[in-house]
Amino acid sequence: MIYQNNYKLEHITEPINKAEPEIKLIVEQALQLEKDKLSQKNSRYINEDILNIIRNNIQ
């Protein structure tokens, strides 16, 4: 049984909130990509898309 008091949103998002701006950007773009892919019938190739997001933000 999971108790809601043990899982506060602040604890879950803390690593993202404390991350460098470049890392936050990568996470935000990857989450948006996942959200966009969920609405499609064919959600293949997401791994390649996430790798491209990382590569583009590192350069």
**pLDDT given for residue 52 in this prediction:** 93
**pLDDT given for residue 20 in this prediction:** 92
| Long-range Cβ contact pairs of 27-36 (< 8 A, separation 24 or more) | 29/53, 29/57
- What token pair was written down for 27? 């996470």
Domain ranges (residues) in the chain: 20-57
Mean pLDDT by 10 residues, the chain (59 residues): 62 86 92 86 81 90
- What token pair was written down for 3? 């108790």
**pLDDT given for residue 4 in this prediction:** 55
**Whose structure tokens read 């990382």?**
54
The pTM for the full model equals 0.70
> Residue 35 and residue 28: Cα distance in Å, rounded?
11
